[in-house]
Chain A
């Protein structure tokens, strides 16, 4: 255990969303550079979810990774007729002609295979700080792990996996190619919310399922602004995220 690793009680408090912004950001930074800690946080999240599901959702298997809701073929078909929704005035980049099915499918698979990340996190250390430490604790989401070198269409990228205290999950994909997500429109689909943007030489893709659309929009806007300026979230953004907090899915009760 490294000297800088937070106390186990602090890590649990982090998983429960109990730390203030400064402390949570400190843990998030430690998680980002310590694969073993990331693994621990991810497993704590999994255990927390498993306990909730074990008693709330009957006999449903708690920690089984979700199967993709759509097959690759159907996702490709769906991608062809996506209903494009403008999510915030600053987040609209339009559609290009390139098919985006592969990237969406891969991103959703990564997002659904939530529990892959503890293993993948051991593959290498990701220097989040070089980019920004995307602190979403005001939105009730904590960084639970980072995956490196995951396939995203014809390129590779990183994934920041966020989880809420009551079942919300959010994935931020970052590619070192600004055009990596070119073919993807910002969409509100029946099965997922997706938004993309590009800053300098990086492409960003944000994915969630069963999340309140307004909450997702606020988070996306905040992340886009933060990544554009490479600074932490400003106070109005943090407040907007706090105010937009809503439970995810239809099984959870706030």
Chain B
């Protein structure tokens, strides 16, 4: 009965957890494995956060740690974070045609730096606020804010670079 309750509590976050794992790993099978491992850890845990927000953050932190362990195991962890793009490098105008479909977003996401992918996955996929992200990543809230901004600028630039679908007219959109 206890296990069933644990599972039920976990299941409501399954979609976002899998989405987050997928965003980080860019591999459906790896994402499923990460979620599966997360389930095991949750079921094994003797104590779980009572507060729902803390519980959710705890789940995503498990996935994140599992992913980092996975990276270490295959020695892909980048020791040096790539240089962040300066804000001035990406003009706001780059948002103009950055309209996208699933495949394009996934492709572009794959080419983001780990840092940008990490923060956008937490905010846009996980649905976390800046304060929560700051705690999870152990960084100041202001850093979260600037990373989100730079991450989106980088994503917009990648989407424009890949020349995804431009929003030209309603008739064109209908063909999507």
Contacts and interface: CB of A to CB of B under 8 A. Distances in A.
A52 interface: yes
Given A13-B130, A18-B130, A54-B106, A64 B124 contact: no
Interface stretch (A43-51, A144-152, A179-187, A216-224): A43-51
B62 interface: no
Contacts of A235: none
Interface residues of B, number: 43
Contacts of A65: 170, 173-174
Size bracket of the A interface: 35 or more
Nearest to B14: A253
Interface string A153-192: 0000000000001100000000000000000000000000
A61 B19 CA distance: 15
Contacts of B96: 39-40, 43, 118
B100 A8 contact: no
B67 to A, nearest CB: 14
Contact of B146 (A9, A63, A165): A9
28 contacts: A1-B92, A8-B92, A9-B148, A18-B129, A18-B130, A39-B95, A40-B92, A40-B95, A43-B96, A47-B100, A47-B155, A50-B105, A51-B23, A51-B155, A52-B19, A55-B22, A55-B121, A55-B125, A56-B18, A56-B125, A61-B176, A63-B99, A63-B100, A64-B176, A65-B174, A115-B173, A253-B15, A253-B127
Interface of B: 12-13, 15-16, 18-20, 22-23, 87, 92, 95-96, 98-102, 105-106, 109, 120-121, 123-125, 127, 129-130, 145-146, 148-149, 152-153, 155-156, 159, 167, 170, 173-174, 176
Given A12-B149, A54-B102, A55-B19, 8 more contacts: A8-B92, A8-B153, A40-B95, A47-B100, A50-B105, A52-B124, A63-B100, A63-B101
Interface of A: 1, 8-9, 11-13, 16-18, 36, 39-40, 43-44, 46-48, 50-56, 58-65, 113, 115-116, 118-119, 165-166, 251, 253-254
